[in-house]
Amino acid sequence: MKASFRLGRVMGIEIGIHVSWLIIFALLTWSLAAAYYPQLYPGWGSLTYWTLGVLSSLLLFASVLAHELGHSWVAIRRGIPVKSITLFIFGGAANITKEAETPSSELFMAVSGPAVSFALALIFWLVYFLTQGTSEVIGAMALYLAQINAILGAFNLVPGFPLDGGRVLRAVLWGMTKNFRQATRIASVTGQGFAYFLIFGGIATAFIVGWLGGLWLAFIGWFLATAAKASYRQMVVSEILRGASVREIMSSDFKSIEPNVSLQQALDDYMMPFSQRALSVSQWGRLLGLITLTDIKKTPRQLWSSTPVSEVMTRTDELKTVSRDDDLNTVLQYLQSQDLNQLPVMQAGELVGMVTRSDLIRYLQLRQEIDVRATAKGADKQD
């Protein structure tokens, strides 16, 4: 999930918030200021309630961020890059760019988040007890944050993918069976079962108790069910790509142009006739950069005829590249994390090919078709 607003960096990780976070922040603040605190602590002024509502909401999301940083810290320590963390309507999500390579790494990454939440719950409980008799307002906020962090930690330990507990379950099953795909499938099915329980439970709650809480519960269940299915599909793709190299899908038949060619000419004479989204820009046999359809579209159309590609191309030192021997999972990681459509393939400092998002999709479709046919033949033989 892409951040709508960037807040900064922590441990080298980009921190951002999605626009949906603003919705839940407003709803949570209103709920705390208008209902939760007035019911538990009557007699305080409106300003106090709203101040508590805003501060409690901010500290809750700071707690969610700490939870995700717990995952990220362990991932980085285990050699797994973390690109960003985004706060959104359902909490937070760390963009960990690849799967754990061992069951132990998966296990430690999974439990680190809930461990941070439980530690925060303990800290807020201590603040609550230390402020008894001195500051009832601070104590009230600390009690709420202690309870909500304990709930956050416990909820995430439910053994259903993609919750942290589901990842713990996958790590245990992976260690026992030595089969990552089967472990993920079981954890994913368990996660979907829990999600449907929330959906139907939320619908029942909406009719019996109140529509707002029930609708929210069902909405969380729907999100978890969707995420569980998506996580399993992502794992299948990763398994298909594992062990395959760039040389298997890259194209060596690519067009190169000189830096003084206009954007209009690059589009009309090279991109459109040869169905290429990107062209290498070279001069005297030396690669200068890459011009893409996206680069051209960023320039006003009336300037295409007068603007040379050298002014808008991505220069060589800024290019994200791969080699012929790189794993296709590396290609997928770069394409997704950098939001790219193609990657130059470099060998010994020379451009030897191009690998595109379309190349990767065609390869996946072919492999999946082969796997389906192989499975069908195996079933026929057993019959």
List the structure tokens of 302.
């009336």
Catalytic member of 14, 68, 101, 350: 68
Asked if 201 and 216 count as a contact pair (C-beta separation under 8 A), the reply is: no
Distance separating alpha carbons of residues 168 and 153, to the nearest angstrom: 13
Work out the end-to-end distance of the chain between its first and last CA atoms, rounded to an integer number of angstroms.
Answer: 45
Q: At what angle do helices 164-177 and 180-208 cross, to 10 degrees?
A: 150
- Own/partner contacts of 33-42, CB < 8 Å, gap of 24 or more, are 36/144, 37/140, 40/140, 41/136, 41/140
CA atoms within 13 A on the CB side of 138: 11
- 90: CB partners within 8 A, 6+ apart: 24, 220, 223
97, 13, 106, 80: which is closest to 329 by C-alpha?
97
Is residue 311 part of the annotated active site? The answer reads no
Strands 256-257 and 278-283: parallel
Count CB atoms within 10 A of the CB of residue 131: 17
The CA-CA-CA angle for residues 9, 15, 17, to 5°, reads 150
Asked if 163 and 191 count as a contact pair (C-beta separation under 8 A), the reply is: yes
Count CB atoms within 10 A of the CB of residue 193: 12
Residues belonging to the active site: 68
